[in-house]
Structure 1
Amino acid sequence: MNITEFQKWVGDFYQERGWTEYGPFIRVGFLMEEAGELARAVRTIEIGRDRPDEGEKLAGEARQELVEELGDVLGNLILLANQYEVPFEEILEAHREKLQKRYQLHR
């Protein structure tokens, strides 16, 4: 699945559940919540949680959690882009152009 197809799928999936009714300010809050969960997943992999009430995660479990949290962050970014009618491909291209210009890269 390419990014354009995925952007549409995410929008349709969330809309079917009524989750696209939240405005951008609320969506950014959800994004920050998911970013925190992503940070926790990275911490688990990199330095562990060191909590007696949580068992140690196996490497595969920790990686799966990381993948899922990256997806949750991406989903919320896509929903924000959809709210402003910005195709994700435009975001990717603009970001690449900005970095190439800033750092004089021509790849």
Structure 2
Amino acid sequence: MAAQHRRERRFQRQFDAIGRLVPPLRGPMSTLRRDSWFPIRFPVAIALIAGGVLSFLPVLGIWMLPLGLLLLAVDLPILRGPISALVIRGRHAARRWMRRWRQSRD
């Protein structure tokens, strides 16, 4: 039971982390996480995942993929652990990439 609670808190922290990285998403993400928003949340999650896969097109971006996966995991609890781990790894990789990019510019 404690492990499940720990995974749930970890999952919720990923929403907070994305909200800190992209502040304009904080409000819509908290609204979409409510249970009553399932009819909207599920199609939005699928659209974000598709947009992330098509990130080579203008306007769409890879940022859409983790966001869509997180929204999908709200409704599919079995995905919460793996998606949280994936988002954490992605954030760490992006942070390393940004650090290297900044160092190469200096």
Could you say whether these structures have the same fold, taking a TM-score greater than 0.5 normalized by the shorter chain as the test?
Answer: no
Higher relative contact order (CA 8 A, sep 6+): 1
Higher CA-based Rg = 1
Greater helix share, structure number: 2
TM-score (norm 1): 0.37
TM-score (norm 2): 0.37
